């Protein structure tokens, strides 16, 4: 495993589903990374799970820059708000 690096992301939505909190965020389209067991969002642990939700932009086309993660602790939801920039600790993937 390579050293983890910070990927700057823009929080778009925080979805509190009761038993899980999902954070949707945008990244540069050319970002290439993976989550690990040690990945965090602004120091808050996240599950090793990454999804690309079906979100349409204003032009009606899919937002390929949008990703979704799940926080390990639902109590961490209050640390994130739409419109804020955050740092996601990830493993870079070489192309």
Q: How confident is the model at residue 1 (pLDDT cuts 50, 70, 90)?
A: low
Per-chain mean pLDDT for the chain: 95
0.85 exceeded by the pTM? yes
62-68: long-range contacts, CB 8 A cutoff, minimum separation 24: 63/26, 64/29, 65/26, 65/27, 65/28, 65/29, 66/12, 66/24, 66/25, 66/26, 67/9, 67/24, 67/25, 67/26, 67/27, 68/22, 68/23, 68/24, 68/25
Question: How large is the average pLDDT for residues 52-57?
Answer: 92
pLDDT of residue 82: 97
What domains can you pick out in the chain, each with its CATH number?
Answer: 5-75+82-92 (2.40.30)
Structure confidence by residue, pLDDT tens digits, 41-51 = 999 999 999 99
Q: How confident is the model at residue 2 (pLDDT cuts 50, 70, 90)?
A: confident
């Amino acid at each position: 495993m390579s050293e983890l690096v910070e990927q700057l992301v823009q929080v778009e939505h925080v979805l509190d589903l009761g038993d899980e909190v999902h954070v949707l965020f945008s990244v540069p389209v050319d970002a290439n990374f993976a989550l690990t067991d040690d990945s965090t969002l602004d120091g808050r642990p996240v599950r090793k799970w990454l999804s690309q939700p079906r979100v349409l932009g204003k032009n009606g086309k899919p937002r390929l820059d949008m990703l979704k993660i799940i926080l390990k602790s639902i109590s961490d939801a209050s640390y994130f708000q739409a419109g804020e920039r955050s740092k996601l600790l990830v493993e870079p993937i070489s192309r």
